[in-house]
Structure 1
Amino acid sequence: MTTDPAALTAALIRCPSVTPADAGALDVIAAPLAEAGFTLTWVERGGIRNLLARWGDKGHPRTFGFNGHTDVVPIGNEGDWTHAPFGADVEDGVMYGRGACDMKSGVAAFVAAAIDFVQETPPDGALLIAITGDEEGDALDGTIALLDHMKDQGEAMSVCLVGEPTCPNEMGEMLKIGRRGSMSAWFTVTGVQGHSAYPHRARNPLPAMARLMDQLASHELDQGTEHFDPSTLAVVTIDTGNPANNVIPATCTSCVNIRFNDAHTGAALADWLRAEAAKVADAFDVTIELEIKISGESFITQPGPFSDIVVNAVQAETNRTPELSTSGGTSDARFIQAHCPVIECGLVGQSMHQVDEHVSVAHIHQLKGIYTRVLRDWFA
């Protein structure tokens, strides 16, 4: 009897696991894995519950890994949904609910594939399934905690497949072999408050901030690299909190977000931001404080035997040759890339995080087929 990934998806959707709540989602996955002979380890850190399931010998030199998450983003206004956000309703072959696309269906597909694979054709090797409840949140105590635990216990994946949705429009059109780095920087410019009729008695932080933001936004970071589009910098907010039109404020704040390719490191970009801020501070006789958060570095899994296996599996199941892409935002692959080669392969992501998030039931079964082929060919 095969494992039905659509039924497993529905059971997961019915768990209202809005990050960081688990709401029983991991137990839905744990039960069939344990029944299939997987050894379960619960890794809890910072109030987050994570699951590591292993089939085969610990520390086996040929260990295939899957990674995913069962936490979801909030539903927003429930009244805007035409289907219950946690109902897993199916209409015209489409299943609705928060997490249907991102990414309870992906988790269900690789869990179902792994269970059936080890029972039907036990491989010479091991499988590790790492599932977190902290991907949509701060992501500090989820996949990172699992990787830390694995390191402490001498566990390691040879390669890892992440089940995030990767296709923009059609099933099978794209894989992710890397991701851009992401970082944000918050600037606080401080001058001297004063009357707007006597600007010479004040030091206005606004012209300094305007100059700095213009210089940063106008700067060409690069023209792209072999596998990446050009890096981008976006000014996302400039604020003074000043309600008066006759007062020059003392401070002004702003934030920029940078998505960068493998021509840069977060540290090098941070140095550049500090240098630009220092030049503007000197020119306008103000002080500029800077806070920087690097969410992840850019990375690339070079095309090769692993990506060939995934591409061939996608071709066989969808009749499409997927593009090897590095586009999009960040995912937990940014943590795994320091551990082993990692590729992301999943469903169409058009509805993720939206009202009436949904997934084609046929695509869930198709994705299980892709993962099954990947396992069969990788262990062959």
Structure 2
Amino acid sequence: MTTPHDELAALAAELVAIPTENPPGDERPCAEFVADWFAERGIETRLVERPSAERAQVVAWVGEDPREAAGDDATTLVLNGHLDVVPAGDPGEWERDPFAGVVEDGILYGRGSADMKTNLALAMLTLRDLAPEIESGDLDGSLVFHGAMGEETGHPGTRTLLEEGYGGDCAVVLEPTDFRVGTSAKGVATYRIAVSGSASHASRPDQGTNAIDAARPLLDAADEYDDRLRERSDPLVGRAFATVTEFEAGTDSNMAVLPGRAELLLDRRILPDETFAEVEDEIEALLAGVEREAGVETDRSLVKHYASAGIRPDHPLAERFRGLSAELADAPADPWGLEAATDAREFVAAGTPAIIWGPGNLAQAHAVDEYIDLGDAATGLEILKEASRGVLGER
């Protein structure tokens, strides 16, 4: 006899077994699987081919069509997750095939098991299980499901779904947080910064200017900037940072040639009370100082930007999930925020309160041999359904 626990494990394993590595971001097969699953159960569902048909997203809803529910007194709750996962890397480093969806001793292994295919399964089952109560009128409101594209690389998947009208009055972004309720998250801005030299043969180094040497003042300035940023802190998400995460020079030429160009990536973590405009001004001042003091010309481009986001820690949505998570999962009930960026920012930017919550250990996200405890996932399903009932409210 199949139990609800077995059903959850099987559905999560099927989702893990659909590779959606980003890059390149082949989310469409997973979106089609989810859409078919909902359609087979009589739940309204749509594939959304913006911003990319090849990387289609999926939405589903029970209750009012969210595109027509504006101004409705009943509450619409969005359960948001992303379809993409980070690349698994070398399969040889994994003890199990990262896309086999292996379940052993109550543990689901595989890329995306924690971040966040299992939590997508929770949202899918919640819509299905609450559908009779919503359709009968026992619950006064609607549930909307998001299976978004591109979250891992900052693509506007969730933003596009909101622009298409698939929003609500509040949202849960189902990241693995060990049942802690995140009401704020850092943002990030990643810059590609380059310095130029002039190439010459390494046997005659004085005839050129080594771009690696030209980059040294820039690296020193980045370290000094990071030191200053570490003095800034938010009580929930911690300190601001600026970290060089990549450096490249000379890789497109002969090994005996001085590189004529060097590039680095600078990762700037943004606190909830900092604005992107302020960060831009700081980066501009940083590079102007390098040019002025060291005579090094630089050029920069923005690779990606995730806005920081935050709502009141005592928002009713947060309090509801916090209370149930403390009761059923023994999770800490104190206010908390994430050091990483999430799609909660898209909801907050649109004026929709959103929390970040879910079973699963955040340390497993992006890790080799990623896994999730399916017992925790089953508890998460119980909490998500009970909290959703509370948000929608009984008639």
1:315 aligns with 2:322: no
1:30 aligns with 2:35: yes
Query: Residue in 2 aligned with 1:43?
Result: 48
1:99 aligned residue (86, 91, 112): 112
Query: Residue in 2 aligned with 1:232?
Result: 241
CA gap of 1:2–1:89, structure 2 versus 1, over 3 A, is: closer
1:109 aligned residue (122, 131, 135): 122
Query: Residue in 2 aligned with 1:341?
Result: 353
- Structural RMSD (CA): 2.9
- CA-to-aligned-CA distance 1:233-284 (integer Å, 9 cap, x gap): 1122344318899976543332211111023222221222122212321333
Query: Residue in 1 aligned with 2:289?
Result: 279
1:146 aligns with 2:173: no
Q: What amino acid does structure 1 have at the position aligned with 2:44? A: T
Question: For 1:228 and 1:138, how far apart are their aligned partners in 2?
Answer: 20
1:123 aligned residue (136, 139, 142): 139
Question: For 2:260 and 2:21, how far apart are their aligned partners in 1?
Answer: 40
Q: CA deviation at 1:138?
A: 5.2
1:257 aligned residue (244, 256, 267): 267
Question: For 2:108 and 2:319, how far apart are their aligned partners in 1?
Answer: 31
- CA-to-aligned-CA distance 1:291-341 (integer Å, 9 cap, x gap): 223421111111221110110121222123344332332222222221211
- CA-to-aligned-CA distance 1:351-370 (integer Å, 9 cap, x gap): 33233322212112111011
- % identical equivalent positions: 25
2:84–2:151 contact (8 Å) kept in structure 1: yes
2:170–2:354 contact (8 Å) kept in structure 1: yes
1:211 aligned residue (212, 217, 242): 217
Residue pairs, 1:189-204, within 5 angstroms: 189-192=195-198
Q: Secondary structure at the match of 2:239?
A: coil
1:185 aligns with 2:191: yes
Query: Residue in 2 aligned with 1:72?
Result: 85
Q: CA deviation at 1:196?
A: 8.6
Question: For 1:266 and 1:23, how far apart are their aligned partners in 2?
Answer: 32
Q: What amino acid does structure 2 have at the position aligned with 1:139? A: H
1:6 aligned residue (5, 9, 23): 9
2:26 aligned residue (11, 18, 21): 21
- CA-to-aligned-CA distance 1:182-239 (integer Å, 9 cap, x gap): 0112222234557999999766655553223212322312421343312001122344
Q: Secondary structure at the match of 1:165?
A: coil
Q: How many residues align?
A: 370
Q: CA deviation at 1:176?
A: 1.8
CA gap of 1:204–1:87, structure 2 versus 1, over 3 A, is: closer
What TM-score do the two structures reach when normalised by structure 1? 0.86
Question: For 1:244 and 1:130, how far apart are their aligned partners in 2?
Answer: 49
CA gap of 1:190–1:89, structure 2 versus 1, over 3 A, is: closer
Q: Secondary structure at the match of 1:350?
A: helix
Q: CA deviation at 1:117?
A: 1.8
Q: What amino acid does structure 2 have at the position aligned with 1:230? A: R
Gaps in structure 2 of 5+ consecutive residues? none
Q: What amino acid does structure 2 have at the position aligned with 1:107? A: L
Q: Looking at secondary structure, tell me which structure has more helix per residue.
A: 2
1:178–1:325 contact (8 Å) kept in structure 2: yes
Q: What amino acid does structure 1 have at the position aligned with 2:355? A: I
Q: Secondary structure at the match of 1:48?
A: coil
Query: Residue in 1 aligned with 2:379?
Result: 366
CA gap of 1:239–1:31, structure 2 versus 1, over 3 A, is: closer
Q: CA deviation at 1:40?
A: 1.3
Question: For 1:17 and 1:351, how far apart are their aligned partners in 2?
Answer: 17
What TM-score do the two structures reach when normalised by structure 2? 0.83
Question: For 1:203 and 1:27, how far apart are their aligned partners in 2?
Answer: 54
Q: What amino acid does structure 2 have at the position aligned with 1:92? A: D
1:166 aligns with 2:181: no
